[in-house]
Amino acid sequence: MFGLFNKSKQSEEVVPEWYAELQESQERWFSFLEKLEAKMEEFATAAIPELKQLLEEDDDLYKRTFHKVYSGVNGQLNNIREKARDTYEEKIISVYYHYNSKISVLSKHHNLVSDFRNNCSDRHNAFENKYDYWRKQIDKTKERDLEIEYQKILSEFETIKDKFKCTQCGGNLTIDKIFLIETYVSCPFCQTQNTFTPSTIGRNLQNIARELAEQRTAHLKEEFENEVDKERDLYHEHHTLSLSTIHESNKSVLNEIQIKMEDLEKQRQFAIQNAPKLRQIYLRAMYDEWNKITPDLKEHNEKMYLNQLKY
């Protein structure tokens, strides 16, 4: 880390006096972020198993204890991030502005000022990436295997579907499907309307249905997202190639690059056309799964599907 400035030192014969201050600020900034990153890692690695355990143990229907702690953990990560941002403004950017206004762009030393800013900003970006990484790891603690919960709901249904008798005549009542909310069930013998109230477990089906369908079709979503990324990658590759032609005068090399670029563009156009198709394939499959899990919501879901296709 302390070798950071060696290169510029060598290229500049006389290093200006003020350079020491920039150097010190940069070194402090790097070590400050390193310490924050260590904190973040330490905190997140301790929090992740705790969160997983809490989610499992939380008896509340809405897992509210888990959500409170989850929100508090993210609050601390956010606090660390804000600390870095505020410090960047206060200790780095203000120093940069100070020297940037003092040192003319024409000065041979001006690059020391801009290098200072670039180095610090790159380091800040690296820190932000680490933050994103830990945020995602914390997010993942919310994931649970919904197939297990789904099985619980199905087996509960098996135990109750033939369990009830008509409150009026005592005849057997069969619950013919998983009802999502209260409903009237009429007795096949005396026609009396009984009121059926689903259990807490049964009601949960409505809450998990979409996420379960998404879990089951995650691979299709990934295929779609990869196609979108591919378009961006191809675009950048094309752009880099096109820059490389600027200083190239050899005709056959230029020709080769041209052919490559055309090929990339073709692939990119294909990705542009293909991505919406893959999206539709994913959405259709996801809604099909969803409809299988909660057939009673099909009519509504189909409207939602059509809306989603439009946007």
Partner 1 sequence: MFKKLFGSLTGDNKQENQNYEQAQTSNDNYENDYDNEYQEVEYDPETLHGTHYSVEDFDAEVARRAEAWIEDERASGENVEEKDIQNIYFNYRREVYTEWNNCDSDQMIRFEHANSLKYTGIQTSGFVKVDDNNPFLEPVHGVDLRTYTAMCLKISAGVDYLEVCKAMGFEPIVWEELNTIWPQRMGEDTSFTVTTLFGQYYAENVTVPQLENLNAEISAEGQANLDRIKTDRYFYEELAGARQAAYEYGIDGAQWILDNFGINLADFQSVAMQWMTEQNQNWNSADIIAFSDYQQEKQKEYAAKFAAEQGGNIADDVNF
Partner 2 sequence: MEEKKVNSFLNRLKENAQKQSNYGGETENTDAQMKLKDCPNCGAGRAKQDGVTHCAYCGFEFLSVKLTDGMYIKKEDNSL
Element (H, E) at 186: strand 183-186
Asked if 200 contacts 61 with a C-beta cutoff of 8 angstroms, the reply is: yes
Q: Is 65 or 100 the residue whose CB approaches partner 2 more closely?
A: 65
Q: Which residues bind partner 2 (CB under 8 A)?
A: 39, 42-43, 46-47, 50, 54, 59-62, 64-65, 68-69, 72-73, 76, 156, 160, 164-165, 167-168, 173, 175, 179-181, 183-186, 190-202, 296
Contacts for 277 with CB less than 8 Å, ≥ 6 apart: none
Pick what 160 binds: partner 1, partner 2, none; C-beta below 5 to 8 Å, kind-dependent: partner 2
- Nearer to partner 1 by Cβ, of 83 and 163: the residue is 83
DSSP assignments along 10-59, one per residue: HH-SS--TTHHHHHHHHHHHHHHHHHHHHHHHHHHHHHHHHHHHHHHH--
Most distant pair of Cα atoms in the chain: their distance: 104
* Nearby residues of 107 by Cβ (< 8 Å), 6 or more positions away: none
Stated as kind and residue range, the H or E segment containing 274 is helix 251-293
Is residue 173 within the footprint of partner 1 (CB under 8 A)?
no
Give dist(CA 69, CA 51) in Å, integer: 7
Nearer to partner 1, 87 or 100 (CB): 87
> Which of 4, 12, 43, 192 is in the footprint of partner 1 by CB under 8 A?
43
Judged by CB under 8 A, the number of residues near partner 1 is: 36
Q: Does 200 bind partner 1 (CB under 8 A)?
A: no
For residues 54-73, which are near partner 1 according to CB under 8 A? 64, 68-69, 71-73
Task: Please choose which of partner 2, partner 1, none residue 226 contacts, taking the beta carbon within 5 to 8 angstroms, the exact cut-off set by kind.
Answer: none
The residue among 38 and 259 lying less far from partner 2, judged by its C-beta, is 38
DSSP string, 211-252: HHHHHHTHHHHHHHHHHHHHHHHHHHHHHHHHHHTTT---HH
Q: Evaluate whether 38 touches 109 at the Cβ level (below 8 Å).
A: no
The one of partner 2, partner 1, none whose footprint includes residue 233, by CB under 5 to 8 A per kind, is none
Residues 6+ apart with CB under 8 A from 63: 55
Among residues 4, 15, 48, 80, which is the contact residue for partner 1, using CB under 8 A?
A: 80
| Residue 204 to residue 208: CA distance in whole angstroms | 6
Closest CB 74 distance from partner 1, rounded Å: 8
Is 75 a residue that touches partner 1 (CB under 8 A)? yes
| Least CB distance to partner 1 at residue 251 (A) | 25
Which residue of 10, 14, 101, 184 would you call a contact of partner 1, by CB under 8 A? 184
Site of interaction with partner 1 (CB under 8 A): 28-29, 32, 35-36, 39-40, 43, 64, 68-69, 71-76, 78-80, 83, 87, 91, 180-184, 195, 272, 300, 303-304, 307, 310-311
